[in-house]
């Protein structure tokens, strides 16, 4: 993506806090109109107040698990702010799921938000962007989607699903002139990770994460993955045969 294509209207889900909020502020500073979605309206009002132009924030409260509401929101954004040129599907949540506490309701909530939220968003966006043969959709998954680690059964399943879905759609959408980007962060200090009780190696702050994502978008990368230390560790885990992988995760289980 060339620098000048940070123009027009962006839509960010999960823009109320953390990475999504940081990206919204960065895109407004580049001059985009940013339709900002999350469930908590007060966070969107705060974002609008904090944003420094030349662009602006258009608050669009939304629960991404509600497919009809997602469709209505996308239609409203296009009616009020014009065609969406960049969508960042970032809304996400996490709940610890273990074999002992295998809570199917919590599991479903994580998958509904992380995976189905992005699916609902794609359902609304794809007909519009394919018809226009223009635009970029960036999907925020995680390096946690590379491999199933202890306590992350729900989160890893949702993120692995996002990665597979994005890879699957990429060549078809390329032919439609619609760009797809896969964003796989390592640990970033946000309200989501502040709940974690385990050590988070190579934790970075939100500004650093936003900077990596903005640079990756500018360069038109398919996968934006950071920080490099976490990338190296998780890519290596990703290719380990089970005979080497399970001794590592068994040790993790013993230290829970």
Ligand X SMILES: NC(=O)c1ccc[n+]([C@@H]2O[C@H](COP(=O)([O-])OP(=O)(O)OC[C@H]3O[C@@H](n4cnc5c(N)ncnc54)[C@H](OP(=O)(O)O)[C@@H]3O)[C@@H](O)[C@H]2O)c1
Q: For residue 166, state whether it binds ligand X (rule: CB under 6 A).
A: no
Residue among 13 and 166 whose Cβ is closer to ligand X? 13
* 146 annotated active-site: no
Which region, judged by CB under 6 A, interacts with ligand X, from 49-57, 61-69, 214-222, 244-252? Answer: 61-69
Q: For residue 36, state whether it binds ligand X (rule: CB under 6 A).
A: no
Question: Does residue 188 contact residue 205 with C-beta atoms inside 8 Å?
Answer: yes
Query: Which residue matches tokens 């680690």?
Result: 149
Query: Which residue matches tokens 């190696």?
Result: 201
Cα separation, 187 vs 189, whole angstroms: 7
Which one is catalytic: 146, 155, 187, 226? Answer: 155
Question: Does residue 109 contact residue 95 with C-beta atoms inside 8 Å?
Answer: yes
Of 130, 94, 99, the C-alpha closest to 113 is 94
Q: For residue 40, state whether it binds ligand X (rule: CB under 6 A).
A: yes
Min separation Cβ 172 and ligand X, Å = 24
Interface mask toward ligand X for 177-196; x: CB under 6 A? --------x-xx-xxxx---
Q: For residue 11, state whether it binds ligand X (rule: CB under 6 A).
A: no
The only residue of 6, 11, 12, 20 in contact with ligand X, by rule CB under 6 A: 20
Report in angstroms the alpha-carbon separations of 24 from 139, 212, 214.
15, 14, 11
Q: For residue 92, state whether it binds ligand X (rule: CB under 6 A).
A: yes
Chain Cα centroid distance, residue 9: 18
| Pairing of β 33-37 and β 136-140 | unpaired
Q: Which residues form the interface with ligand X (CB under 6 A)?
A: 13-20, 37-40, 43, 62-65, 90-93, 113-114, 117, 140, 142, 185, 187-188, 190-193
């Amino acid at each position: 993506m060339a620098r000048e294509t940070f123009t027009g209207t962006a839509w960010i889900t999960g823009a109320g806090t953390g990475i999504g909020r940081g990206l919204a502020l960065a895109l407004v500073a580049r001059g985009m109109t940013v339709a900002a979605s999350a469930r908590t309206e007060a966070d969107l009002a705060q974002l609008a107040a904090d944003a420094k132009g030349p662009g602006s924030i258009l608050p669009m409260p939304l629960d991404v698990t509600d497919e009809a509401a997602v469709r209505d929101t996308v239609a409203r954004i296009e009616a009020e702010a014009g065609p969406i040129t960049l969508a960042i599907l970032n809304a996400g949540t996490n709940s610890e799921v273990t074999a002992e506490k295998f809570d199917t309701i919590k599991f479903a909530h994580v998958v509904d938000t992380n995976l189905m939220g992005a699916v609902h968003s794609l359902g609304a966006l794809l007909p519009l962007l394919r018809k226009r043969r223009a635009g970029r959709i960036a999907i925020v998954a995680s390096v946690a989607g590379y491999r199933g680690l202890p306590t992350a059964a729900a989160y890893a399943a949702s993120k692995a699903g996002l990665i597979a879905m994005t890879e699957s759609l990429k060549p078809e959408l390329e032919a439609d002139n619609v760009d797809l980007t896969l964003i796989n962060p390592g640990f970033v200090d946000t309200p989501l990770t502040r709940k974690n009780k385990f050590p988070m190696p190579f934790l970075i702050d939100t500004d650093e994460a936003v900077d990596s994502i903005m640079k990756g978008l500018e360069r038109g990368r398919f996968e934006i993955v950071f920080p490099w230390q976490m990338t190296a560790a998780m890519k290596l885990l990703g290719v380990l045969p089970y005979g080497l992988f399970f001794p590592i995760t068994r040790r993790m289980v013993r230290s829970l």
